[in-house]
Amino acid sequence: MHGAAYKHVPSVVHLLAEKGAKVEVWNHQNKKGWTPLKIVEGIPIGMNIAGDAATRAAIQQLLAASVK
């Protein structure tokens, strides 16, 4: 999921979810301390990673569904 977030590919977010990606597995911080949601929100410190609204919406949808 982190890769889909970095590359801004909401279709991959959906594909991973369809294939059974579990939020409790992928929703963690990477080595830099960033979650997929943090990545798509944009990281202005150092690397200046641009946010992506479509991928953010896809990840937020999965996170909301996991709470239900």
pTM for the whole structure: 0.84
Q: Residue 53: which pLDDT band, with cuts at 50, 70 and 90?
A: very high
Domain boundaries, the chain: 2-67
Average pLDDT, the chain: 90
Residues 26/39, Cβ–Cβ less than 8 Å: no
Q: Residue 17: which pLDDT band, with cuts at 50, 70 and 90?
A: very high
The residue among 46, 44, 61, 47 whose CA lies nearest residue 1 is: 61
